[in-house]
């Protein structure tokens, strides 16, 4: 679950970098959007309005996820993220040859990416 200030804008960001909106519904008066990296993926994210979460479960509203994505093309992913309004870090290469980057979505939540 990702708790966001603007569900529609967050859904548009994730869609712009390749995620698929699979469901949109009303949840206790607030919009809930479900996204997946691919249609056949078992991984899903639910985008919840953080104000609604603060009212229903204030103890978890400000928790941020620690998510690591995998990508076969970090450069292309960083370009998509920047075009969608997110921020990216430089791509770093560790001594063992593993390449990683980080990005922040449009609300400033950070995610890590490792190259496959």
pLDDT for residue 38: 95
Q: Which residues does residue 2 pair with via DSSP β-bridges, in sequence order? A: 47
Could you report the per-residue pLDDT of 53-80, keeping only the tens digit for each?
999 999 999 998 899 999 999 999 999 9
d(CA 92, CA 106): 22
Could you report the per-residue pLDDT of 4-22, keeping only the tens digit for each?
999 999 999 999 999 999 9
pTM of the model: 0.91
Q: Which residues contact 99 (CB under 8 A, 6 or more apart)?
A: 74, 91, 92, 93, 114, 115
* Token pair of 76 as six digits: 């292309």
């Amino acid at each position: 679950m990702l708790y966001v200030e603007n569900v529609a804008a967050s859904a548009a960001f994730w869609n712009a970098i390749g995620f698929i909106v699979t469901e949109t519904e009303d949840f206790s008066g607030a919009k809930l959007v479900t996204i997946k990296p691919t249609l056949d993926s078992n991984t899903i994210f639910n985008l919840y309005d953080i104000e609604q979460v603060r009212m229903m479960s204030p103890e978890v509203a400000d928790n941020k996820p620690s998510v690591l994505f995998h990508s076969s093309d970090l450069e292309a992913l960083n370009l998509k993220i920047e075009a969608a309004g997110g921020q990216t870090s430089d791509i770093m290469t560790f001594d063992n040859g593993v390449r990683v980057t980080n990005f922040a979505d449009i609300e400033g939540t950070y995610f890590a990416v490792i190259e496959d």
